[in-house]
Chains A and B, each alone.
Chain A
Amino acid sequence: MTLMKSLMGAAAAVALTAGAALAEPALIFDLGGKFDKSFNEAAHNGASRWAEQTGKTYREIELQSEAQREQALRRFAEAGLNPIITMGFAMADPLAAVAGDYPDTKFVAVDVNWLDAPNVRQIGFAEHEGSYLVGMMAAMASKTGTVGFIGGMDIPLIRHFGCGYAQGAKAVNPDINIVANMTGTTPSAWNDPVKGSELTKAQISQGADVIYAAAGGTGVGVLQTAADEGILSIGVDSNQNHLHPGKVLTSMLKRVDVAVYDAMKAGEDLQTGVFAMGLAEEGVGVAMDEYNAELVTEEMSSAVADARSDIINGNVTVVSYYENDSCPALQF
Chain B
Amino acid sequence: MDKMPKWADVVLIPLISLILAAILSALVILAIGENPVEAVNLMVTGALGSTYGWGYTLYYATNFMFTGLAVAVAFHARLFNIGGEGQAMLGGLGVAIVCLYIPWPHWSIALLAACAASMLFGAAWAAIPAYLQAKRGSHIVITTIMFNFIAAAFLNYMLVNVMRPQGSQDPATARFPEAVHLPTFQSMFSTAENAVFKGAPANISFFVAILACFVVWALIWRTRLGYEIRAYGHSETGAVYAGISPVRITIVAMLISGALAGLMATNNVMGEAERLVLNSTEGAGFIGIAVALMGRSHPFGVFVAALLFGFLYQGGAELALWTSIPRELIVVIQALVILFTGALDNMVRMPLEKLFLGLRKGAE
Binding site for B on A (CB under 8 A): 1, 4, 7-8, 10-11, 14-15, 18, 31, 33, 59, 61-62, 64-68, 70-72, 74-76, 89-90, 92-93, 111, 114, 153-157, 160, 184-187, 322, 325
Contact = CB atoms under 8 A, between A and B. Distances in A.
A61 B279 contact: no
A154 B162 CA distance: 13
Nearest to B194: A1
A64 B279 contact: no
A93 B327 contact: no
11 contacts: A4-B49, A7-B49, A10-B49, A11-B42, A18-B323, A62-B320, A67-B60, A67-B268, A89-B170, A90-B172, A325-B167
A10 B321 CA distance: 14
B169 A64 contact: no
A158 B200 CA distance: 32
A184 B148 CA distance: 13
A67 B169 contact: no
Contacts of B278: 153, 155
B324 to A, nearest CB: 8
Contacts of A62: 320, 326-327
Contact of A72 (B50, B164, B321): B321
Interface in B305-324: 313, 316-318, 320-323
A184 B152 CA distance: 9
Nearest to A74: B199
Contacts of A93: 170, 172, 175, 275
Contacts of B156: 153-155, 185
Interface stretch (B51-59, B116-124, B139-147, B351-359): B51-59
B190 to A, nearest CB: 12
Contacts of B321: 15, 59, 61, 72, 75-76
B322 A156 contact: no
B272 A11 contact: no
Nearest to B331: A64
A8 B49 contact: yes
Nearest to A60: B324
B282 A66 contact: yes
A15 B38 CA distance: 12
Interface string B191-223: 000100001010000000000000000000000
Interface in B22-59: 42, 45-46, 49-52, 56, 59
Contacts of B194: 1
Given A7-B49, A62-B327, A67-B59, A18 B322 contact: yes
A74 B318 CA distance: 12
A14 B49 contact: no
A156 B164 contact: yes
Interface in B262-317: 268, 272-273, 275, 277-280, 282, 313, 316-317
B320 A67 contact: no
A67 B279 CA distance: 11
A322 B167 contact: yes
Given A67-B268, A71-B56, 12 more contacts: A4-B50, A11-B50, A15-B322, A62-B326, A67-B60, A67-B201, A93-B170, A154-B157, A154-B160, A186-B149, A186-B152, A325-B166
A92 to B, nearest CB: 6
Nearest to A155: B171
B160 A155 contact: yes
Given A92-B170, A155-B278, A8 B149 contact: no
Nearest to A28: B321
A123 B294 CA distance: 46
Closest 6 CB pairs of A and B: A7-B49, A185-B153, A185-B152, A185-B156, A155-B171, A62-B327
Nearest to B54: A4
- In this complex, which of A114, A155, A157 has the most chain B Cβ atoms within 10 angstroms of its Cβ? A155
A70 B272 CA distance: 10
A61 B171 contact: no
A64 B330 contact: yes
B160 A156 contact: yes
Contacts of B199: 70-71, 74
A69 to B, nearest CB: 9
A4 B157 CA distance: 45
B160 A14 contact: no
A68 B316 CA distance: 11
Contacts of B280: 66
Contacts of A187: 279
| Residue in B149, B168, B277, B313 whose Cβ sees the most chain A Cβ within 10 Å | B168
A185 B327 contact: no
Nearest to B49: A7
Nearest to A94: B273
A323 to B, nearest CB: 8
Nearest to A111: B169
A4 B316 contact: no
A1 B170 CA distance: 40
A93 B327 CA distance: 24
A65 B201 CA distance: 13
A198 to B, nearest CB: 15
A57 to B, nearest CB: 10
Contact of B282 (A65, A76, A322): A65
Given A64-B316, A67-B201, A33 B49 contact: no
Contacts of B50: 4, 7-8, 11
Contacts of A92: 170
